[in-house]
């Protein structure tokens, strides 16, 4: 069903999870284009380093699930990753899509007029946090004036390091269920945004985050009915595989 704006998120608070991953292969340019076509202003995407230090847009630490190739990111160069088909696994219509680099994606987002929540994945093959965050900084530094960037991560150290480099960017701490001391952990980054699993939302917590000026977005929710009771309590936004169900 579609939820009207009075009981739903603001249009710019609907983030397409891995692009519009319900209708196109996740974390591909096709998925970002589909998000724009659905009316989304923001996409969420996952980034990790290849063996030769290029940031690629992919959720897993291997290409096995989302491409025609096999192997771990830590054993594959960006050129090898780019050579795999990243679309046919989802649907034959998407044959020819590739696993994009972050740099290619930033360029495409500018053309599509989209902004991005860049989720920094921390994988075992990543050897240096410094390399990881400096590479993110270099890639997002080439964004178009039309593209806003925010950073999210399950790794507070990645957020701390990114905040040092880019203190003007919104940092979102990712938790399935926030810990008891969420306020202290956010302050240590520092961050003022929580991205949490929608099933862990509570009215009481949202009242507390609202009181403290903390934003909360919920992932990964594809059914607006699940969130209806939370918007009035201060839920800020939603990260969804299917943005059109929230955008109408
Ligand atoms: O940003 C929310 C969500 O993407 C976090 O989980 O595993 O889908 O990257 P995951
Ligand atoms: Mg993600």
In order along its 248 residues, the chain shows pLDDT tens digits of 444 445 899 999 999 999 999 999 999 999 999 999 999 999 999 999 999 999 999 999 999 999 999 999 999 999 999 999 999 999 999 999 999 999 999 999 999 999 999 999 999 999 999 999 999 999 999 999 999 999 999 999 999 999 999 999 999 999 999 999 999 999 999 999 999 999 999 999 999 999 999 999 999 999 999 999 999 999 999 999 999 999 98
Residue nearest atom 7 of ligand 1, based on CA coordinates? 59
Would residue 59 show up in a list of annotated catalytic residues for this protein? Answer: yes
Would residue 197 show up in a list of annotated catalytic residues for this protein? Answer: no
Q: Which of 175, 138, 134, 170 is nearest to 154 (CA)?
A: 175
Mutate to test the pocket of ligand 1, among 14, 15, 17 (most ligand atoms within 8 A of CB): 17
Q: How far is the CA of 174 from the centre of ligand 1 (A)?
A: 8
Say how far apart CA 44 and CA 91 lie, in whole Å: 21
Please report the atom of ligand 1 found closest to the CA of residue 119. Answer: 1
pTM for this entry? 0.97
Residues 53-56: contacts with CB under 8 Å, at least 24 apart: 53/131, 53/135, 54/78, 54/101, 54/103, 54/135, 55/101, 55/102, 55/103, 55/135, 55/136, 55/139, 56/81, 56/99, 56/100, 56/101, 56/102
Q: How far is the CA of 27 from the centre of ligand 2 (A)?
A: 9
The pLDDT value given to residue 3:
45
Q: How far is the CA of 14 from the centre of ligand 1 (A)?
A: 14
The pLDDT value given to residue 248:
85
Residue 73 near residue 56, CB atoms below 8 Å: yes
Mutate to test the pocket of ligand 1, among 174, 175, 177, 242 (most ligand atoms within 8 A of CB): 174
Pocket of ligand 1 from Cβ distances under 6 Å: 17, 44, 46, 59, 119, 152, 174, 195, 219-220, 239
Which ligand has an atom closest to residue 154 CA?
A: 1
Query: Which of 12, 59, 123, 163 is labelled catalytic?
Result: 59
Residue nearest atom 10 of ligand 1, based on CA coordinates? 59
Residue nearest atom 4 of ligand 1, based on CA coordinates? 17
Residue 27 near residue 57, CB atoms below 8 Å: yes
């Amino acid at each position: 069903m579609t939820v009207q704006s009075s009981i739903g998120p603001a249009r710019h608070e609907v983030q397409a999870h891995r692009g519009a991953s319900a209708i196109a292969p996740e974390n591909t340019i096709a998925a970002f284009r589909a998000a724009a076509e659905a009316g989304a202003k923001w996409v969420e995407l996952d980034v990790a380093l290849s063996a030769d230090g290029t940031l690629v847009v992919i959720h897993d630490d291997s290409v096995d699930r989302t491409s025609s190739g096999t192997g771990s990111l830590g054993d594959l160069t960006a050129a090898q990753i780019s050579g795999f088909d990243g679309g046919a696994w989802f649907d034959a219509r998407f044959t020819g899509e590739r696993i994009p680099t972050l740099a290619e994606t930033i360029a495409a987002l500018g053309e599509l007029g989209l902004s991005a929540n860049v989720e920094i994945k921390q994988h075992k093959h990543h050897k240096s946090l410094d390399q990881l965050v400096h590479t993110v900084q270099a890639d997002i530094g080439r964004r178009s004036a039309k593209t806003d960037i925010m950073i999210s991560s399950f790794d507070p150290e990645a957020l701390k390091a990114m905040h040092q480099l880019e203190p003007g960017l919104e940092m979102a701490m990712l938790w399935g269920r926030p810990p008891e001391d969420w306020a202290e952990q956010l302050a240590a980054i520092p961050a003022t945004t929580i991205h949490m699993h929608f099933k862990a939302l509570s009215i009481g917590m949202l009242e507390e985050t609202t009181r403290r000026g903390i934003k909360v977005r919920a992932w990964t929710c594809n059914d607006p009915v699940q969130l209806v009771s939370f918007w009035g309590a201060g839920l800020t936004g939603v990260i969804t595989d299917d943005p059109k169900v929230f955008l109408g």
